Structure 1
Amino acid sequence: MAKTIIVSNRLPVSLRHKNGKFEFKPSAGGLATGLGSIYKEGENIWIGWPGNDVEDPEQRAEIIIELHELKMAPVFLTKEDIEQFYEGFSNETLWPAFHYFTQNINYDENHWEAYVRVNQKFCDAIIKKASPEDTIWVHDYQLLLLPQMLRERLPGATIAFFQHIPFPSYEVVRMLPWRQEILSGMCGADLIGFHTYDDMRHFLSAVGRIMGLSNESGYIQAENRLINVDSFPMGIDYDKFANSAKSKNTQRIAKKFLGQLDDQKLLLSIDRLDYSKGIPQRIKAFDRFLEENPEYHEKVSMIMIVVPSRAKVKSYMELKEEIDTLVGRINSDYSTLNWLPIHYFYRSFPFEELSAFYAMSDIALVTPLRDGMNLVCKEFVASKVDMKGTLILSEMAGASKELQDAILVNPNDNKGVAEAIKYAITMDEKEQKLRITSMQETIQRYDIFQWVKVFMDRLDHVKQKQLDLQSKEVDADVIRDLGGHFDKAKKPILFLDYDGTLVGFKSKPEDAFPDEELKTLITKLSKKSQVVIISGRDKETLGSWFQGQNVDLIAEHGVWLKMNGNEDWDAYAEVDDHWKPDIKSVMAYYVQRTPGAFIEEKHHSLVWHYRKVESGLGDLRMRELFSHLKYMARGHNLQVLEGNMVLEIKRPDINKGRAATSFMKGNTYDFILAIGDDWTDEDTFQAMPEGAFSIRVGYSYTKATYNIKNSKEVRYLLNKFT
């Protein structure tokens, strides 16, 4: 029976060494809460590192048994693994790169090798538990290589990946020497999820520029698979925080805390110690607020909780020292016998005490310099059951895309954050209620359980789309079937597109001439079948390339026909070219603005090429030109066609389908096969009579009977006919 395997760097429990024994402590994190509904069902399981190094084989055996009872399986890491893979590559290379702290990136080759090694350890551990029909959901930046490793071992498995931290722009990704391997690793998944659309956009851009994989509407075409990339903003367990805020125990704790603070407005700051959280900048903004607003002295206090993290790492020690110094100076400058501006706690708190802090605080100051999502702000809003309270939120946090009713600030704008604090303090209760109510509705609707459901539903949808395409894939059975029909036929005909079908694409169109292998193949095919090369190429090029070959040629999408044995070309259609000068001048304008673009003029069409243009810029200019030409085309009765890195404009009544139909008129063929690779070939497929076969090169949706991987596979298929 198929099962779901959750995989993350850490298990939802921590392994603690106490009094010579190991014990497990459950994690209270949001991910553990949300995925609890999955991994605790049926035969499902969670695989990850238990959080401590265990060298003794007997202790490992005991831990495996205990975790099995909890529906978990451990991946044991050595001290060296932890140091080089986790603390090294994950947190000294990927973490700063993905949070845009490029000055902190450590380019250590040994750390990279450890990262590969540990990802392989995870893969081996999963393979021991997984079956080909299972669903495997991999989480976060520590395991970016894992999806592809699993794909190689379990080609048919359903594999998903979710990134919980930001994904940076292409300009940052390209700095990493291992960028290709990282992106390839992620592309082993069927569904790749991010918190925000921006992260998704950055990933698609990097994949396009570095790997050369195109995408359309969030779908990457890779090899013989469609990969979906989408955004799924993660939520919290809303009811858990709302109910806790109402509980008598939380209210008792809050009352006790408030009793020590007198009647003050309370700002709350909760973070793990990390440079991405912007803690020093936040303290400086509060300092500025106090300096510019002396009337609020003894009326406003900040509760600042910093949860210890990586305490032995030098840069984190320096960050802690900076925070300590800033807090000490502000408290020294402003505090009185009855008032301390900042109540600073460098430790973690149990859930109920955190809940009390959320409930009793008037303002939450959540201003990370960069954050994938940030759940603290959502937890604060969910805890405001009295509908009073204000959220100041960084624009750089993923949550800002959802919580538009927060006071949004740039965390680098010292003055702006200080002004936001004053605005929050003076906000009337009516406005507070309106903002909190709106944000609570959003958080309640898109909670952690909805996040899991939407993600898993999307994964099912992607797999169904893949199956739809897979059912049309040219495999060994299809090749055998087509070969059988071809061999029995007395009068077969083949309609073959040229670029992208018989040959791969080249930077310069003139370089895509037929090689000796192709010439030999066409010669063999033409002895057993009527072969028609039907292309968008101009007649001069096509005629010279296939001179002496026993083939029929249809050029410029059906404008010209040259029958085998004829010296001259016949025009299928009379075309008025008076529109060309106007259109060409517009195309030339876009060539001037787009280095690498050029115009190809055919007898009855114009083509704008952008294969040699910088990735991204070419797509942008093509979209601009497409809109411009669409507008102009209406007045001239023209059609604008988007091809593979080309934009072509011509008359709509001239197309390959019409040409193919005219060609077959008056003839009876007992085997018809059409092969092409882009939208211009869809007209051919649609025009094919009942019983004909058609094949689209690539894995786009198509009217063709089948899909095939690439031009090499096309040649392999056609060679089977000879």
Structure 2
Amino acid sequence: MATADFVVVANRLPVDRVVGPDGAETWRTSPGGLVAALEPVMHQVDGAWVGWGGQADLALEPFEANGIRLIPIRLSAREVAEYYEGFANDTIWPLYHDVIAPPQYHREWWDSYVTVNRRFAEAAAEAVAQNGTVWVHDYQLQLVPQMVRALRPDVTIGYFHHIPFPMHGLYAQLPWRDQVLRGLLGADVIGFQRAQDASYFVAAVRRRLKYDTKATTISVPVDEQTRTVIAKAFPISIDTAPYLELIEKPEVQARAAEIRESLGNPKTILLGVDRLDYTKGILHRIKAYGELLDAGRLKVEDATLVQVASPSRERVDAYVQLRDEIELAVGRINGDTDTMDHSAIRYLHQAFPREEMVALYLAADVMLVTALRDGMNLVAKEYVATRADNRGALVLSEFTGAADELRQAVRVNPHDIEDLKDAIMTAVEMPRAEQSKRMRSLRRRVLEHDVNAWSSSFLEALATARAART
């Protein structure tokens, strides 16, 4: 197999397998920020992408799709259950999100995580050219940087952590805490969404491994010498171009008007768009909205909450329970407040194509991003990108990475229901002039710091690291 100068390693391939009615297999570009961010980069360099095909026991030879060389990793059904649903999403995910749900610690899950990480690392080491670059992504693959370095000390290695990194008091619960830190320190550059996350990681390294640290640099002992690792924030963003194109399309604008009409043309449409996940604060949002209706601060004739909750990890018990709780809460509020012509909450447990999402963004007067903990939250940036008329208001949790950048949003502590209610009312009642002033500032930030700026800044840091090694 020909090697590549630049290899991306991520849990998933950038394409989804689609089998037609006739059994014919095709590959469709995956939705999501990471693929949008890296696809242009992959086309500019001699690149390859290592990832899982998304289905258990799917054995595939390397192939090319959309001009990108793809190297599939096979996972057995047991590995999907233990490495992915188990350790990645029932141990690391809840632990790194401030233990909103309790993490589960099982040695067999950890063993599977090690095994699968090694498989990814070996594929990357085989795929990368001499003195090439490997860029590893996210919490499913935290051991891969060190494993690649052991196999290929000649390459430059980057790692980007898309979710939060917890403070040491929480991180220290992890039975395999030191192994994970050493795994990550195999990279030359470790990127985080927030400066806070980077500082938590550096503090964990200093406290647990006793390595010397200074600001964003870590000195990692190697034999008789040291190797310098950079750990700092590189806040990810969105590809703004498709959103700017879609908001100009007459059919998308007409769909936005149709959505308002279908909801009874309320004065205010509030919108929540989330994966169905306990970190997103959906129940807190629904509770606050219901209490505003109960108190008469909002009226069902004047306001409608549209909540899109796309299906997620439906075989994990915590997610099954969350869906039941949300549907019960929605049913109770609608039962108590709906009229024949108006519904308090339009709840949609499904995913929508980008065109429909943009129409929803255009229709919405208030965007509610009330995550209890979030690495970034790109929905906030998507909403802002679509507001070319500088209208609308964004309510944004201070516990999202986006809150560090989108400072003109209405900031809120979603754990404080009274604060959340007041923030919603501030957004609903915000004068047009203030909306315009805030939104202009928000859009300037999102349009200037787009996904291309993010990938460029990280790749520049990798280039600097490579130059320092030679």
TM-score by length of 2: 0.95
Which residue does 1:319 correspond to in 2?
322
Structure-2 separation of matches of 1:461 and 1:65: 32
Structure 2 unaligned spans of 5+: none
Change (3 A) 1:244 1:312: same
1:354-365 equivalences under 5 Å are 354-365=357-368
Q: What are the equivalent positions in structure 2 for 1:150-549 lying under 5 Å apart? A: 150-223=148-221, 224-264=226-266, 265-294=268-297, 296-467=299-470
Q: How many residues align?
A: 462
> Match of 1:203, as an amino acid?
F
The Cα of 1:288 is off from its aligned counterpart by 1.2
AA aligned opposite 1:86:
Y
1:238 maps to a residue whose letter is T
- Displacement of 1:295 after TM fit? 5.5
TM-fit CA distance, 1:10:
0.6
Trace 1:41-52 onto structure 2 (pairs within 5 A): 41-52=44-55
SS state at 2:263 partner? coil
1:26 corresponds to which letter in structure 2? T
SS of aligned partner of 1:296: coil
Q: Aligned partners of 2:64 and 2:217: how far apart in 1? A: 41
Cα shift at 1:78: 1.1
**Pick aligned residue for 2:83 from 78, 85, 92:** 85
Q: Deviation digits for residues 178-216 of structure 1, max 9, x if unmatched? A: 001000000000000001000000000000001111111
- CA 1:287–1:22 in structure 2 vs 1: closer, same or farther (change >3 Å)? same
Please list the CA deviations of residues 360-408 of structure 1 after superposition, one character each: whole Å capped at 9, or x if unmatched. Answer: 1000000011000000000001111111000000011110000110000
Residue 179 to residue 396, structure 1, CA distance change in 2 (3 Å): same
Which residue of the partner structure matches residue 13 of structure 1?
A: 15
Once the two structures are superposed, residues 511-537 of structure 1 have per-residue CA deviations (whole angstroms, 9 ceiling, x without a partner) of: xxxxxxxxxxxxxxxxxxxxxxxxxxx
Alpha-carbon deviation of 1:164? 0.1
- Evaluate the alpha carbon distance shift between residue 427 and residue 159 of structure 1 in structure 2; reply closer, same or farther with a 3 A threshold: same
Deviations 1:571-596 (A, max 9, x none): xxxxxxxxxxxxxxxxxxxxxxxxxx
Q: CA deviation at 1:154?
A: 0.8
* Aligned partners of 2:178 and 2:208 also within 8 Å: yes
CA contact (8 A) 1:13 1:27 kept: yes
Q: Partners in 2 of 1:54 and 1:65 — Cα distance?
A: 17
The answer to whether the 8 Å contact 1:410/1:416 transfers is yes
Per the alignment, residue 127 of structure 2 pairs with: 129
Residues 551-581 of structure 1: per-residue CA shift (max 9 Å, x gap): xxxxxxxxxxxxxxxxxxxxxxxxxxxxxxx
User: Paired residue for 2:74, among 73, 76, 91?
Assistant: 76
Amino acid at match of 1:83: A
- Taking a change above 3 Å as real, the CA distance of residues 26 and 2 of structure 1, as seen in their structure-2 partners, is closer
What letter is aligned with 2:271?
L
CA contact (8 A) 2:271 2:366 kept: yes
Counterpart secondary structure, 2:130: coil
SS at match of 2:347: strand
- Tell me, yes or no, if the aligned pair for 2:4 and 2:48 is still in contact at 8 Å: no
Answer whether contact 1:16 1:52 (CA < 8 A) is retained: no
SS of residue in 2 equivalent to 1:340: coil
Q: Which is further off, 96-105 or 357-366?
A: 96-105
Deviations 1:534-557 (A, max 9, x none): xxxxxxxxxxxxxxxxxxxxxxxx
RMSD between superposed Cα atoms in Å: 1.6
Q: Which residue of 2 aligns with 1:646?
A: none
1:127 Cα offset (Å): 2.1
Deviations 1:102-125 (A, max 9, x none): 652111000000000000110121
Using a 3 Å threshold, how does the CA distance of structure 1 residues 393 and 73 change in structure 2: closer, same or farther? same
1:53 CA drift (Å)? 2.4
Matches of 1:310 and 1:226, distance apart in 2 = 38
Letter in 2 for 1:176: L
CA contact under 8 A between 1:67 and 1:73: conserved in structure 2?
A: no
**Contact 1:123/1:150, CA 8 A, preserved across alignment:** yes
**Aligned amino acid, residue 245 of structure 1:** I
What corresponds to 2:92 in structure 1? Answer: 94
- Secondary structure at 1:281's aligned position in 2? helix
What is the SS of the residue equivalent to 1:242?
helix
Aligned-partner residue type, residue 252 of structure 2: T
Q: Secondary structure at the residue paired with 1:347?
A: coil
Cα 1:42–1:340, aligned 2, differ >3 Å: closer, same or farther?
A: same
Q: Is the 8 A contact 2:50 2:73 kept in 1?
A: yes
CA distance in 2, matches of 1:163, 1:222: 19
- Do the aligned partners of residues 126 and 331 (structure 1) sit closer, same or farther apart at CA in structure 2, a change above 3 Å counting? same
1:67·1:74 contact (CA, 8 Å) conserved in 2? no
Q: Distance in 2 between matches of 1:457 and 1:181?
A: 28
| C-alpha distance in structure 1 between counterparts of 2:175 and 2:243, whole Å | 43
Post-superposition CA distance 1:659-707 (Å, at most 9, x none): xxxxxxxxxxxxxxxxxxxxxxxxxxxxxxxxxxxxxxxxxxxxxxxxx
Q: Which structure's CA Rg is the greater one?
A: 1
Counterpart Cα distance in 1 of 2:39 and 2:66: 15
Structure 1 pair 99–260 and aligned structure 2 pair: CA distance change class (3 A) = same
Contact 2:145 2:183 in 1 (8 A): yes
Q: Distance in 2 between matches of 1:78 and 1:353?
A: 35
SS at match of 1:40: helix
Contact 1:2/1:133 (8 A) holds in 2: no
2:131 is paired with a residue whose SS is: coil
C-alpha deviation, 1:128, in angstroms: 2.1
Confirm or deny: 8 A CA contact 2:43 2:67 kept in the other structure: no
2:395/2:424 contact within 8 Å kept = yes
Q: Secondary structure at the match of 1:159?
A: strand
Looking at structure 2, the residues matched to 274 and 231 of structure 1 have their Cα atoms a distance apart, in angstroms, of 24
**Cα distance in structure 1, aligned partners of 2:119 and 2:435:** 50
Letter of the structure 2 residue corresponding to residue 229 of structure 1: A
Q: Which has the higher contact order (CA 8 A, sep 6+)?
A: 2
More displaced stretch, 290-299 vs 388-397 = 290-299
Structure-2 change in CA distance of 1:102 and 1:209 (3 Å): farther
Worse-superposed segment, 433-442 or 289-298: 289-298
Whole-angstrom distance in 1 between the partners of 2:358 and 2:464: 38
CA separation in 1, counterparts of 2:377 and 2:195? 15
In 2, Cα distance between the equivalents of 1:131 and 1:275?
41
- Structure 1, unaligned stretches of length 5 or more? 468-722
SS at the partner of 2:44? coil
Cα distance in structure 2, aligned partners of 1:437 and 1:208:
42
Instruction: Please say if residues 163 and 195 of structure 1, whose CA atoms lie closer than 8 Å, have aligned partners that are also in contact.
Output: yes
- State the distance in 1 between where 2:196 and 2:297 align: 40
Q: Give how far 1:307 is off.
A: 0.2
Partner residue of 1:505? none
Q: 1:438 to 1:294 in 2, by over 3 A?
A: closer
Distance 2:298 2:104 in 1: 47
TM-score normalised by length of structure 1: 0.62
* 1:705 aligned residue: none
